[in-house]
Structure 1
Amino acid sequence: MRTFGIIWGGQLVSVIGSALSAFVIGVWVYLGTGSVTQFVLIQFCAAVPGILVSPVAGVITDRWDRKRIMLAADLGAGVATAILLTLVVTDSLSVWPIYLTTALSSACNSFHLIAYTALVPSLVPKKHLGRVNGLMQITQGVQIAAPLVAGALLQLVGLRGVLVVDLVSMAVAVGTLAVTRLPEDAVQPAPSDKAPSGFMAGLRYLGGRPGLVNLVVVFCAFNFLFAIAGGLVQPLILSFSSPATLGVLMAAGGSGLFVGSLVMAAWGGPRRRVDGVYLGLVLGGFFLVLHSLYPSPWLIAVAAPCFLFTLPLMNTACTTLIQTKVDPAFLGRVLGAVRMLVTAATPVAYLLIGPLSDGVFEPLMADGGPLAGSVGAVIGTGDGRGVALIFLVVGVLMLAVAGYAYTRPRLRGIDVELPDVESRKEPARD
């Protein structure tokens, strides 16, 4: 646990620096170009390369030294930041190098995350794995909170100063990891001949275990529905509140994610890990429906943090199940396949929400629209109520996913019927 704590602390510092620079770079692009399209392209470059390289990252994680993979990934992301800093210092920064360096950072982060997640089960006792995965979720809370600090930091030290902070934070992460001694079975697990090599081995491994297949299907559905809600929550709030109120409510929502991560770090999740999956889906569906009922900032101030609280719960439960049920020799490839499938749901959701909102749901909920006299009598009509209807539908779908998950016998019994693998020698006593 001490070794993990040292690595986790260094990586958390790096995540903070990266989140600060990512926000500030986005602000620079939007203010400099005034183009929403160019701003959104940054998000595209931050997501898609990481999805595409995930299977390759999984293969490499199972074949090479995982510590060296993490070091190389951190250094690669550092090079991307150093390029941006050089361009800023020479007053030659433009938009296209930002796209390229963002894509490079995305690919490096994917390698880093898969190697890091595969490394963890060999560093900590299995009984603490849920708590450790909860700690790892804190990084998402930090990323949401970053804009609160980054805005002030931008005014204080400018873009150049923020990039320097990012480079220093990466140096801390690299230095901390470099000097930490790790057990041999953690950095490079023994090879196995139980399955074919290559990135398809991850999918084949999952295919032979129906309980894990059901888990991944449910995890993908959750992330898809979560992405729809995440992409529409700002338009929902702005339909009845000011931009200032939006900032406050977004910060409140981020606090829910942060608190959820702390709770999971202290608790670790239920004894039956699959119960964490059911709980996350049911609570998530309920609080999504709550978003839709009335156009009130006070309602969102309650519903948004409670909904985001479920993300660490779901992520911790699913990640811990995968880590404890997958042969360590194939863990990297399985994690790569799962990451590719799960994260691919996000850009698909983003492509759908615009046409669905503007072309379908808003006209349905307009004053005098087709659903004004039925659903509109419950959640209201007018601007933004079509988005509210999407929240209602997505919430009901998430509850339906919970029902589907519970009806899958292999998933329901995954904690007992699919034996845990031993990734390291467990201590005889606490």
Structure 2
Amino acid sequence: MADTSPPSTPEERTSAPEASPRALPHQDVPTLATLRSFYQVLVNTLIANVTTSYLWFALTFWAYLETGSVLATSIIGGSYMLLVAVFGMIFGAIVDHMKKKAVMLISSAVTLITYLLAGVLYLSFPEEALVDWNGIWFWLFAGVILIGGVVENLRNIALSTTVTLLVPADRRDRANGLVGTVQGIAFMVTSVFSGLSIGLLGMGPTVLIAIVATAVSFAHLLLVSIPERGIAHDPESGAAKVNFRGAIPAVMLVPGLLALILFTTLNNLVGGVFMALMDPYGLTLFSVEMWGVWLGVTSIGFIVGGGLVAKFGLGKNPVRTLLIVNIGVALLGATFTIREYGWLFIIGMFIFMAIMPIAEAAEQTVIQRVVPFEKQGRVFGFAATVESASTPISAFMIGPIAEFWLIPYMESREGQESLGWMLGDGDARGIALVFLVASVLLLGLVIVAFASPQYRLLSKSYAETPPPNSEAAGAAEGAVAAEAPKAAEAAAAAEEAERQR
């Protein structure tokens, strides 16, 4: 492993060349062999994501069906994103400080423990007590499951850094597309089986299935190899402890990167609306079993979108691709609930899920290019913290607004007379109004982002920066090393001239 200790003498400090942040001399440049290791990690992530998504969807369905409250599901969804925001930077620092396989094992172990606790709670109390959302046991049961899902994000941050570690530079955008495809497969499988599981088996057997699947994921991960010769410690913070510094300076160092994260943050503020109301709207149109099936069908869009990225990449400028995708999201959100037609909602959901992996892959590809590998965990964690913090805000706000104001208003005669011409008739016109307003706000945000100087600065930074842990970065590191003797000679000459004076 490379020595990251600072120079101890004035001569060493004078002659030490500036290290290149792009190459990883303590890691092998990715090859086809390491790419195969990445595929194994991806398969294991699929198993883990299927399990956590399965129980997460089941909890949401179960909570809404048992309580009949949009507010309860909004609080559950908002709490999840709030916990992701709170722990994002902590998870990022852990990822930077530890080997990636160890991080993933810790994530799987904690998730398994929380699901076991959920099973104990379910067996310890009658279901009548668990479904009372005004009581403590409902929230304790939901909270334990949510913690297991939140800890899964530790694995996801580690997975983002393994793309840089294991995938050749010219394939990283496509690898991010494969990550989106895996998420789509997990979403498709779990959305179908979560609805069927709650409808046919109930919550207890659903928790048991999640426990068994998590144990299988953990056992499989023990057999997976992640070739990592050492830990890429940040030279500015050293290797002594988990360090939270470095994320913000790394973000500020890249022109326009902070603006990208802030844009995604505001985008997630709108996304919180979708998260809070998508399931209540779908469950208004369909039974729980059919809604689960339709979620599975529409989530094929995730696979399609991720597959398109894996096949064709993101183009020369992923920043531009990200903004174009969000224009599509805004136009879609304004139209797919404008009438209470099941087929319109399903088609809109399919398109929505097809374009979301493209947006996610674009942001990850930009960060993997412009941020040094030894800081990527913290930057991904910082992005998760900032971006996720906005979603619970809107989720917590929109639940009460929809349940106590917009839904009753659109059910009233006054609401039908004023907005019925635009939104039509039905049982969920208040939710449709929320979707419309949120989408218009998102469209305005994207237009502002396209016109900003930060967009042009970040696009330029991406185009001019060599990828970390690549042949190009290695060449840059070699050039720096080649200049070291000249720098030492110049420093010695300067010191000799100073003594003679």
**Which TM-score applies when normalising by structure 1?**
0.84
What residue number does 2:381 align with? 336
Give matches, 1:22-101, under 5 Å: 22-25=56-59, 42-43=76-77, 45-86=79-120, 95=137, 98-101=141-144
Consecutive unaligned residues of structure 2, counting only runs of 5 or more, are: 1-34, 131-136, 474-501
| Structure 1 residue 339: Cα displacement | 0.1
Q: Does 1:281 align with 2:281?
A: no
Q: State whether residues 6 and 176 of structure 1, in contact with CA within 8 Å, keep that contact through their aligned partners in structure 2.
A: no
Q: Which residue of 1 aligns with 2:277?
A: 232
Which of the numbers 403, 423, 439 marks the counterpart of 1:395? 439
**CA shift at 1:376, angstroms?**
4.6
Bigger Rg, structure 1 or 2: 2
Distance in 2 (alpha carbons) for counterparts of 1:51 and 1:80: 19
Alpha-carbon distance, 1:300 to partner: 1.8
Cα–Cα, structure 1 residues 386 and 79, in superposed 2: closer, same or farther, change >3 Å?
Answer: closer
- Identity of counterpart residues, as a percentage? 23
* CA distance in structure 1 between the partners assigned to 2:119 and 2:408 by the alignment: 46
In the other structure, the counterpart of 1:18 is 52
Cα deviation for residue 287 of structure 1 reads: 0.9
The one-letter code sitting in structure 1 at the alignment partner of 2:165 is S
The one-character-per-residue Cα deviations of 1:158-210 (angstroms, maximum 9, x if unpaired) are 7665445434433443344333333336x621422299x94353123223333
Tell me what 2:454 maps to: 410
TM-score (norm 2): 0.73
Comparing 377-386 and 327-336, the one that deviates more:
377-386
Q: 1:263 and 1:88 mapped to 2: Cα distance?
A: 42
Residue of structure 1 equivalent to 2:342: 297
Distance change >3 Å, CA 247–CA 18, structure 1 → 2: closer
Matches of 2:123 and 2:166 in 1, distance apart?
A: 41
Q: Trace 1:347-386 onto structure 2 (pairs within 5 A).
A: 347-358=392-403, 361=406, 369=414, 372=417, 376-380=420-424, 384-386=428-430
The CA distance in 2 between the partners of 1:309 and 1:28, in whole Å, is 27
Corresponding residue number in structure 1 for 2:170: 127
CA distance in 1, matches of 2:53, 2:414: 42
Greater CA drift, 386-395 or 93-102:
93-102
Structure-2 separation of matches of 1:209 and 1:62: 19
Q: Is the 8 A contact 2:190 2:296 kept in 1?
A: no
Which deviates more, 143-152 or 329-338?
Answer: 143-152
Cα shift at 1:218: 1.6
Q: Is the 8 A contact 2:74 2:395 kept in 1?
A: no
Q: Separation in 2 of the partners of 1:303 and 1:29?
A: 25
RMSD: 3.5
Q: Which sits farther off after the overlay, 171-180 or 86-95?
A: 86-95
Match of 2:190 in 1: 146
Count of paired positions: 424
Give 1:396 shift: 2.0
Q: CA deviation at 1:121?
A: 1.0
Letter in 2 for 1:307: F
Shift of 1:235: 4.7
Most deviating of 211-220 and 380-389: 380-389
CA 1:392 to 1:81, structure 2 compared with 1: closer, same or farther past 3 Å? closer
Secondary structure of the residue aligned to 1:184 is coil
SS in 2 for 1:71: helix
Are the counterparts in 1 of residues 407 and 428 from structure 2 also a CA contact under 8 Å?
A: yes
Alpha-carbon distance change, 166 to 248 in structure 1, aligned in 2, over 3 angstroms: closer
Out of 181, 194, 198, the position equivalent to 2:225 is: 181
Separation of aligned partners in 1, 2:426 and 2:225? 60
Whether 1:113 and 2:147 are equivalent positions in the alignment is no
Match of 1:307 in 2: 352
In 1: Cα distance, 2:118 partner to 2:283 partner:
33
Unmatched 5+ residue regions in structure 1? none
Question: How much does 1:7 deviate?
Answer: 1.0
Task: Say which is worse superposed, 157-166 or 170-179, in terms of deviation.
Answer: 157-166
Residue of structure 2 in register with 1:325 after alignment: 370
Where relative contact order (Cα < 8 A, 6+ residues apart) is larger, the structure is: 2
Aligned equivalents of 1:292, 1:367: Cα separation in 2: 19
Question: What is the CA deviation profile of residues 69-92 of structure 1, one whole-angstrom value per residue up to 9, with x for unaligned ones?
Answer: 111111111122233345556778
Residue range with higher mean Cα deviation, 305-314 or 134-143: 134-143
Q: Are the equivalent residues in 2 in contact too, given 1:85–1:160 (CA < 8 A)?
A: yes
Cα separation, 2, equivalents of 1:354 and 1:212: 32
Match of 1:262 in 2: 307
- 1:272-309 Cα shifts (integer Å, max 9, x gaps): 21122122111111111222433322322322211222
Amino acid in the other structure paired with 1:262: G
Query: Structure 1 residues 337, 215: CA separation in 2 closer, same or farther (over 3 Å shift)?
Result: same
| CA pair 92-301 structure 1, distance change in 2 beyond 3 A | closer
CA–CA separation in structure 1 for the residues paired with 2:347 and 2:444: 23
